[in-house]
């Protein structure tokens, strides 16, 4: 007990530090969240519901759901393939591959959109060809999907790779020796071991996919009712000084963020043992 | 020959899918940008990188990010320390809320921070009598960059503080070190690699940040206009070369940062291994 006190701060110091840390969190994190909700209902609940159920807002919600429904499964399949290759095998250039998978995290979202404009836009490499074939990528849904895939690319893989590396290869090798094929090995041996990490990766991927702003804003063209996702709808309403409308849509996205955080923490709380060591807290 | 060594099936398929998808979605589009930028004439490059508006935006993005990452290093270390070392009511909730900037869409963060720091906002109205204006000034850019960078430092430092061997601290105090001496000379050096990694990650994120910044910045050319916004503006004016060159400059710096982060993480891992 004596050692304990020698190795910690005095009671007063402890509470000062706790208070300071909580003040930082309240000021930077809780207050913005509270501001969104307060502004959304500033003119009463009926106004709020009218804003949320407006035609443009509903089509923005629909588009956001469609984009996430394509981008998340695509990155899920990729993430599983990439972590299988990286964690279960040795090959030259592996560390470079892992670095490249994380690459989108260090690219500005605006640039993630720009690269597709340079590829598929009218001034881009494939632009004239696409125009001749009556296909639109930029200022249309395919461009929004591509930009979203770019920015959410690493989420699943980076959640799985450390865990699958930690778990080693013995179980898969045993399954293979006993004659199980690749898919059977994955679904009956590997998946049960990594399902919670996979879920965490999908949750984070989905939150980013639905909330992405910069990359999508560059490729969307902001056509109301057609190429506006929810975050873009927030911007448009805000710039039109429809503050209640903007914050009403923003509150839906904030709710999505809170649900994601709650689900992620529930996984960590109840199934923390089955996440990679670095991911537990 | 290699077939004998690989009892687990699926190497060819999974690596093939990975490389194909990675190339199509990430590598080829990024390469296209660099080829486009390299295709611009030297005169174009010269005109763009000496343009005062471009230089001011790059200075704001990189300078603001550096300052924000420094603030995050201090506040992030404090938060990580308190969350790991002390037990108090609400600790779990506080720990969960740290990830908010990861989960909250940047546009939402942007309008929320603007509402808070505008002269009539909850915080802005308190600062206005002191003559401090945050929203629509470079200070607003700093606030937004600090918001989105906070989790990086907390999340990289937390595991190191949690794994830190209590015996080392006990040894230090048994040998007569004061608590302050132990914290500064024993614990902080052990956390330094993680702190540096978190700093670099927060910096990298803040440099490219767009959504949370543009609402609160006011976007005055040369004063509070960040580089990603200038790229968007140039695109809207069909100045593809200008947009591409600025993007190429930002990407080169980001890739250098990525190498630095990788080197830091290696250092971080060797430190963790020793502890």
Arithmetic mean of pLDDT, B169-185: 79
The angle that helices B52-85 and B227-236 make with each other, rounded to 10 degrees, is: 140
Those residues whose C-beta lies under 8 Å from the C-beta of residue B240, and which sit 6 or more positions away, are A118, A123, B36, B234
Which residues on chain B are in Cβ contact (under 8 Å) with A230? 105
- Cα–Cα distance for residue pair B98/B112, rounded to 1 Å: 17
| Residue A82 DSSP one-character state | H
With b for 16 or more beta-carbon neighbours within 10 A and e for fewer, the B148-181 pattern comes to bbbbbbbbbbbbbbeebeeeebeebbeeebebee
Task: Provide the pLDDT for residue B166.
Answer: 75
Per-residue pLDDT, B3: 46
**A39 touching B (Cβ < 8 Å):** yes
Rounded-to-integer distance, Cα B214 and Cα B228, Å:
9
What is d(CA B146, CA A28) in angstroms, rounded to the nearest whole number? Answer: 8
The verdict on a CB contact (< 8 Å) between B101 and A29 is yes
Q: What is the DSSP letter of B104?
A: S
Q: Please tell me if residue A181 touches chain B, with a CB cutoff of 8 Å.
A: yes
Q: Is B218 left (phi over 0), alpha (psi -120 to 50) or beta?
A: left
d(CA B66, CA B60): 10
The tokens describing A184, both together, are 């059977």
Residue for token digits 């000379």? B185
Of A27, A36, A176, the CB nearest to B108: A36
Q: Does A109 lie at the interface with B, CB-CB under 8 angstroms?
A: yes
Report the pLDDT value the prediction gives residue A7, as an integer from 0 to 100.
63
Chain A residues close to B29, C-beta within 8 Å? 115-116, 118-119, 150
Report the sign of the C-alpha dihedral through residues A170, A175, A181, A184, in that order.
negative
- The overall longest dimension of chain A from CA atoms, in Å, is 81
Q: What is the mean pLDDT of residues B93-120?
A: 94
Q: What is the pLDDT of residue B137?
A: 92
Find the CB nearest A176 among B9, B28, B116: B9
pLDDT at B190 over 90: no
Q: Contact A106/B254, CB-based, under 8 Å?
A: yes
Residue A13 confidence (pLDDT): 87
Per-residue pLDDT at B6 exceeds 80: no
Contact A78 B10 (CB under 8 A): no
Res. B101: pLDDT tops 90: yes
Among B132-146, B160-174, B235-249, whose mean pLDDT is lowest? B160-174
Q: How far is B264 from chain A (nearest CA, A)?
A: 13
In the block, tokens 């070190």 appear at B177
Q: What is the rounded (10 degree) CA torsion for A45, A50, A52, A54? A: 180
Which residues between 121 and 160 in chain A have a beta carbon less than 8 angstroms from any beta carbon of chain B? 123-125, 146, 149-150, 153
Q: How confident is the model at residue B1 (pLDDT cuts 50, 70, 90)?
A: very low
**Partner B contacted by A246 (CB < 8 A):** yes
Q: Do A17 and B207 touch (CB under 8 A)?
A: no
- Which of B7, B14, B146 lies at the smallest CB-CB distance from A176? B7
As a 3-state breakdown, chain A gives helix, strand, coil percent values, each rounded to 5, of: 80, 0, 20
Q: Which residue has the tokens 């550096």?
A: B66
Per-residue pLDDT of chain A (281 residues; tens, 9 = 90+): 334 445 677 888 889 999 999 999 998 899 999 999 999 998 889 889 988 898 889 999 999 999 999 999 999 999 999 999 999 999 999 989 998 998 898 899 999 999 999 999 888 888 888 888 888 888 999 999 999 999 999 999 999 999 999 988 999 999 988 988 888 999 999 999 999 999 999 999 999 999 999 999 999 988 877 889 999 999 999 999 999 999 999 999 999 999 999 999 999 888 887 787 665 44
Rounded to an integer, what distance in angstroms lies between the CA atom of residue A20 and that of residue A15? 8
- The answer to whether residue B268 scores a pLDDT higher than 80 is no
Q: Are the C-beta atoms of residues B153 and B73 closer than 8 Å to each other?
A: yes
Helices (H), chain B: 2-5, 11-22, 28-39, 42-49, 52-85, 91-97, 100-103, 106-117, 124-127, 138-163, 166-174, 179-182, 188-208, 211-217, 227-236, 240-274
Distance from CA of B136 to the nearest CA of A (A): 14
Positive or negative: CA dihedral B2, B14, A203, A185: negative
Percent of chain B residues topping a pLDDT of 90: 64
Query: B8 Cβ partners below 8 Å, 6+ apart?
Result: A88, A89, A169, A172, A173, A176, A182, A185
pLDDT at B270 over 70: yes
DSSP secondary structure letters along A20-38: HHHHHHIIIIIHHHHHHHH
Q: Is A166 on the interface with B (CB under 8 A)?
A: no
Give the least confident one: A1-15, A32-46, B4-18, B85-99.
A1-15
CA distance to partner chain A, nearest, from residue B232 (Å): 7
Which of A39, A109, A261 is closest, CB to CB, to B208? Answer: A109
**pLDDT of amino acid B218:** 86
* Residue A171 per-residue DSSP state: H
Among the partner-chain residues B19, B25, B235, the one whose CB lies closest to the CB of A149 is: B25
CA distance B243 to B89: 50
């Amino acid at each position: 007990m004596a050692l304990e006190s020698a190795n910690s701060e005095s009671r007063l110091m402890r509470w000062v530090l706790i208070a300071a840390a909580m003040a930082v969190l309240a000021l930077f994190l809780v207050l913005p969240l509270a501001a969104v909700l307060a502004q959304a209902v500033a003119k009463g609940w009926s106004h709020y519901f009218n804003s949320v159920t407006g035609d443009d807002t509903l089509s923005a919600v629909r588009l956001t759901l469609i984009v996430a429904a394509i981008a998340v499964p695509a990155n899920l399949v990729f993430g599983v393939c990439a972590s299988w290759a990286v964690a279960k095998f040795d090959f030259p250039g592996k560390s470079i591959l892992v670095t490249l998978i994380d690459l989108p995290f260090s690219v500005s979202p605006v640039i993630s959109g720009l690269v597709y404009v340079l590829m598929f836009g009218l001034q881009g490499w494939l632009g004239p060809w696409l125009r001749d074939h009556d296909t639109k990528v930029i200022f249309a849904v395919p461009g929004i999907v591509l930009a979203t895939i770019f920015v959410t690319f690493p989420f699943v893989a980076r959640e799985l790779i450390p865990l699958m590396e930690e778990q080693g290869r013995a179980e898969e090798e045993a399954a293979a020796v006993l004659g199980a094929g690749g898919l059977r090995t994955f679904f009956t041996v590997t998946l049960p071991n990594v399902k919670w990490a996979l879920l965490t990766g999908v949750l984070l991927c989905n939150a980013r996919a639905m909330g992405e702003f910069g990359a999508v804003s560059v490729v969307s063209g902001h056509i109301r009712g057609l190429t506006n996702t929810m975050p873009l709808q927030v911007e448009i309403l805000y710039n039109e000084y429809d503050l209640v409308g903007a914050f009403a849509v923003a509150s839906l996205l904030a709710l999505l963020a809170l649900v994601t955080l709650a689900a992620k923490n529930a996984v960590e709380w109840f199934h923390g043992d089955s996440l990679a060591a670095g991911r537990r807290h | 020959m290699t077939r004998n060594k690989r009892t687990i099936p699926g190497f060819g398929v999974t690596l093939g899918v990975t490389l194909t998808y990675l190339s199509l979605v990430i590598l080829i589009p990024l390469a296209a940008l660099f080829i486009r930028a390299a295709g611009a004439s030297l005169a174009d490059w010269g005109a763009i990188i000496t343009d005062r508006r471009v230089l001011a935006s790059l200075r704001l993005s990189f300078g603001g990010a550096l300052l924000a990452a420094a603030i995050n290093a201090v506040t992030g270390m404090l938060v990580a320390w308190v969350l790991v070392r002390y037990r108090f009511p609400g600790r779990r909730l506080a720990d969960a809320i740290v990830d908010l900037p990861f989960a909250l869409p940047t546009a939402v963060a942007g309008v929320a921070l603007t509402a808070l720091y505008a002269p009539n906002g909850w915080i802005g109205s308190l600062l206005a009598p002191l003559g401090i204006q945050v929203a629509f000034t470079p200070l607003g850019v700093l606030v937004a960059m600090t918001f989105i960078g906070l989790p990086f430092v907390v999340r990289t430092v937390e595991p190191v503080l949690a794994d830190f061997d209590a015996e080392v601290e006990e040894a230090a105090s048994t040998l007569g070190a004061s608590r302050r001496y132990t914290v500064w000379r024993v614990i902080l050096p052990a956390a330094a690699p993680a702190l540096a990694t978190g700093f670099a990650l927060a910096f990298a994120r803040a440099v490219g940040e767009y959504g949370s910044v543009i609402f609160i910045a006011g976007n005055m050319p040369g004063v509070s206009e960040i580089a990603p916004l200038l790229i968007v503006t140039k695109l809207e004016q069909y100045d593809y070369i200008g947009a591409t060159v600025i993007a190429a400059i930002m990407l080169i710096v980001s890739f250098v940062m990525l190498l630095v982060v990788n080197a830091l993480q290696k250092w971080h891992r060797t430190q963790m291994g020793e502890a």
